[in-house]
Amino acid sequence: MGNRLSKIVTRTGDTGSTGLGDGSRLRKSDARVDCMGDIDELNSWIGMLRAALATDDEIQTVLSQIQHDLFDLGGELAMPGYTALNDDMVLQLDDALEDLNADLPPIKEFILPGGNEAAARCHMARTVARRAERTYVALLDRETSATEDKANPLGLQYLNRLSDLFFVMARSLARRDGGSEVLWQTRRKK
């Protein structure tokens, strides 16, 4: 992979550009930089979620792997032409989804974010994952098939599956220790 930073304050971004791992520079408003930022924010929310869980929680293992995967995805975006994601990473999310969903009842009402602290943090991760998914779509739309070193389409599939996993995970976390999900109550007109 590219060079590691030896110092953090470089002042090279003071004019609104940022450096990629291949030495090229992009405007900080570029779709690739937006996407990298959303993935970084998502990874931070996962850290917040992990801080709300016991260290021996089985979900910790899943979340730890996701954080590493997201760092790989960010690396792909920061190093045009570099590929780290693979189909097995998406399959691992599918397996985690299936495992968590197995014990949940069918959804009969819309579910509001909340339930307990861990579930609420999981919903935050879910919404940021959806935003990262949207910015990834914008990046893919901007890059044509002729674009060299375009973003890996598998990243979009990973983010889509990840946001689904966070929804199911939030449902599971909300039900822990006798808790429950917060169901939407519509105001019905008579």
pLDDT tens sequence across 79-106: 888 899 999 999 999 999 999 999 998 8
Does 188 have pLDDT greater than 80? Answer: no
Q: Which domains does the chain have, with CATH numbers?
A: 23-183 (1.20.1200.10)
Question: pTM (2 decimals)?
Answer: 0.85
Mean pLDDT of 29-42: 89
User: 1 falls in which pLDDT band (50, 70, 90)?
Assistant: very low
Between β-strands 17-19 and 25-27, what pairing exists: parallel, antiparallel or unpaired?
A: antiparallel
What is the pLDDT at residue 20?
65
Closest CA to 99 of 107, 91, 89, 111: 91
155-172, pLDDT tens digit by residue? 999 999 999 999 999 999
Q: What is the pLDDT of residues 66-82, one digit of tens each?
A: 999 999 999 999 888 88
Judged by phi (left if over 0) then psi (alpha if -120 to 50, else beta), residue 114 lies in: left
CB distance 166 to 129 below 8 Å: yes
What is the length of the chain? 190
Pair of tokens at residue 96:
């985690």
